[in-house]
Amino acid sequence: MANTAQARKRARQGIKNRDHNMSLRSTMRTAIKKVLKAIEGGKKDDAQSAYKDAMPLIDSMVNKGIAHKNKIARHKSRLNARIRAMG
């Protein structure tokens, strides 16, 4: 339990930041799921447009420190490979 005013404030800020980060992470996951759903539906055009819309959003998560750059690079690579494989 926080004993000083500073510690109490930092605890409040931590809760607020955690909630914000969770919403950003959820948005990122939803964007990835939209691409996967289009891929599984066999709609290449929809998958490409969803991928194109998702990439700036996903890249911004790296800059905000929400996700590690290698994790994002892995997701982007795998999604793009699956879209190209639809041929």
Q: Domain boundaries in the chain?
A: 5-86
Global pTM value: 0.85
Place of tokens 């926080």: 2
pLDDT grade, residue 1 (50/70/90)? confident
Domain spanning 5-86 has what CATH number?
Answer: 1.20.58.110
Q: Note the pLDDT tens digit of each residue in 28-71.
A: 999 999 999 999 999 999 999 999 999 999 999 999 999 999 99
Q: Is the pLDDT of residue 2 over 90?
A: no
Burial category of 19 from C-beta neighbours within 10 Å (exposed 0-12, middle 13-18, buried 19 and up): exposed
Q: How far is CA 17 from CA 5, 13, 32, 49, 52, in A?
A: 18, 6, 23, 31, 28
Q: Is the pLDDT of residue 5 over 90?
A: yes
